[in-house]
Amino acid sequence: MPLALIALAIAAFGVGTSEFVIMGLLPDVAQNLGVSIPSAGMLVTGYALGVTIGAPIVAMATANVARKRALMGLITLFIFGNALCAIAPNYTILMLARIVTAFGHGAFFGIGSVVAASLVAPNKRAQAVALMFTGLTLANVLGVPLGTALGQYAGWRAPFWVVSVIALLAAAAVAFWVPSNIEMQRTSLKREFRVLRDPQVLMVLGGSALASASLFSVFTYITPILEDIAGLTPHAVTLALLTFGLGLTAGSTLGGRLADWRLMPSLLAFLGALAVVLVVFTVTMHEPLSAVVTLLVWGMFGFAIVPPLQLRVVDKANDAPNLAATLNQGAFNLGNATGAWLGGAAITAGVSLTSLPWVGVVCVLLSLGVMGTSAWMERRGTAVAPSSAS
């Protein structure tokens, strides 16, 4: 296992903790800065939109920068953004700091996944990407709960200082362990954006956004579902979310291994399984133990799709893998924001919490349809190629 992958995973852990820890600190942030809870919640939306908008901008700016230097620059931006969060005197500065931090998010995971795949043998690329993303899943399992607890004890600014320190450690690990001679293609903006004319690339981006929307249309409202429908106590909800995080971590490993074996069949199977799990959740959410078990399985399949989707977009964007992989991170975050909005709109329209998973089912079936079409087009192209050549 290359130590460079460990360095990327450490950085991913810091990025993931910074992104999600704010969710557990919203009441403290709102009280301290004198804003409403919904206004504080916009810090989550602002970050997601910052990733979506910033991803292509930063990808273009770093297109011809050496990969290691680009990663170091992005981690430096991340350190600066989190330190600014920690000292933000008011809500406006905090929102600005979150957006600054988010700008480096998509490009880091995009470039990092391409670098990770380049460090191992061809039949291990998805597993390498999965290992880097394990840092993100561990952020949900360890970083967010511990960061929330620290914020409640020492104030909401403390977790951002800790994340800044983690980022400094990640920068040191990248400096020492990531090789400087990573192969890369010199490119131009015209050549980079030409990749967006490829239907296969666009279908991966659409499939990623829809799959992410499926997750967040339900997960955004998981606390009231577990408390009001399953009957869990607030403490039990924390343990249930920890179980979900363990599922995410296991799913990342599973997705990487199966994607290296058969990428598209594995991806389509994961998406189909996600639809089934969400349907099952409409029944199991009424009983505590079955609800928690379903969360574990949901988390596993929910993150198993990430390595194959990321590797798929890299494979299909040969001329601009870094831009495509970065845009895919933007697509995931666009799905996050869209899914949360869809879930909220459904509830506002009168959909009950017990029926909310059906919104997720629709989104994931649309993702399955898009990626199934992608696989069909690929097989059809492969089938007609020999006869065309002859």
Output the pLDDT for position 271.
96
pLDDT, average across residues 133-151:
82
Structural domain containing residue 149: 1-178
Asked if the model's pLDDT at residue 388 lies above 60, the reply is no
pLDDT value at residue 213: 93
DSSP letters for 212-278: HHHHHHHHTTHHHIIIIIS---HHHHHHHHHHHHHHHHHHHHHHHHHHHH-HHHHHHHHHHHHHHHH
Same domain, 166 and 140: yes
Domains in the chain, number: 2
Query: Could you tell me the pLDDT band of residue 208, with boundaries at 50, 70 and 90?
Result: very high
Q: Is the pLDDT of residue 328 over 50?
A: yes
Q: Which of 178, 202, 228 is the last residue of a domain?
A: 178
Q: Are residues 301 and 329 in the same domain?
A: yes
Contact 308, 329 (CB under 8 A): no
First to last CA, the chain: 44
pLDDT, position 390:
32
Looking at the structure, tell me whether residues 147 and 47 fall in a common domain: yes
Q: What is the CATH number of the domain that holds 140?
A: 1.20.1250.20
- pLDDT for 168-189, tens place per residue? 999 999 999 998 887 766 666 5
Under a CB-based contact definition with an 8 Å cutoff, are residues 251 and 187 in contact? no
- The domain boundary, picked from 124, 152, 178, lies at 178
- Tens of pLDDT along 250-303? 898 898 888 888 889 999 999 999 999 999 999 999 999 999 999 999 999 998
Specify if 115 maps to a domain.
Answer: yes
Residues 166 and 198 in one domain: no
Separation between Cα atoms, residue 106 and residue 93, nearest integer Å: 21
Q: Same domain, yes or no, for 166 and 282?
A: no
Is pTM beyond 0.85? Reply is: no
To the nearest whole number, what is the mean pLDDT of the chain? 86
Reply yes or no on whether the pLDDT at 190 is more than 80. Answer: no
Chain segment 330-384, per-residue pLDDT in tens = 888 888 888 888 888 888 888 888 999 999 999 999 999 999 999 999 888 754 4
